[in-house]
Amino acid sequence: GDRYEASAARTHQRTHNQENQTEQSSMSVLVQLMPLLLILMLSLATSLLSSDPVYSLSANNKYTDHRLTSRLHVSYYVKPGFVKEYQGSIRRLESQVEEDYITALRNGCYKERNHKENMLWRARSFGDAQMFRRAQEMQTPSCDTLQSVYG
């Protein structure tokens, strides 16, 4: 009798300890995963709350209302209802529009000049006078516009 009770008590104690260890290990995993879950929830919330940009440099089906910046007269487009709904500083917005516009012009100018230089190099390499003349006459509209902005 006593042996059986002692054995049963030890078995019960072992089972109880294993259950505690299982609970502790589950909690440990949950605690370790918590930062990851928090990051996922925050990124989901951010993506749900993030909205469209306020403006576009080109018209499309969302951005249909044309506006001009007051300083450089850069064209930009906003959504219908912009005037009523926009809460921010127009001056700051226009400054951002002009900055984006100039960045786009610089990028375009770089590509145009690069293309022109490549064509000139190829014409020289092949000794092709006609190709060289065409390359020299190649227009660089972004560079021209950038030059006119900076006078």
Residue 1 reports pLDDT greater than 70: no
Encode pLDDT of 49-64 as tens digits. 667 899 999 999 999 9
Name the percent of the chain in helix, strand, coil, to the closest 5: 70, 5, 20
Q: Are residues 56 and 63 in contact, defined by beta-carbon separation less than 8 angstroms? A: yes
Closest CA to 66 of 74, 56, 78: 78
Encode pLDDT of 76-92 as tens digits. 999 999 999 999 999 99
Domain ranges of the chain: 1-50, 55-150
Predicted TM-score of the model (pTM): 0.63
Angle at 103 between CA 102 and CA 106, to 5 degrees: 85
Phi and psi dihedrals of 71, rounded to 5? Answer: -85, -60
Encode pLDDT of 12-29 as tens digits. 565 555 666 666 777 788
pLDDT score, position 23: 67
What is the Cα gyration radius of the chain?
Answer: 34
42 vs 62: CA distance, rounded Å = 28
Residue with tokens 């879950």: 37
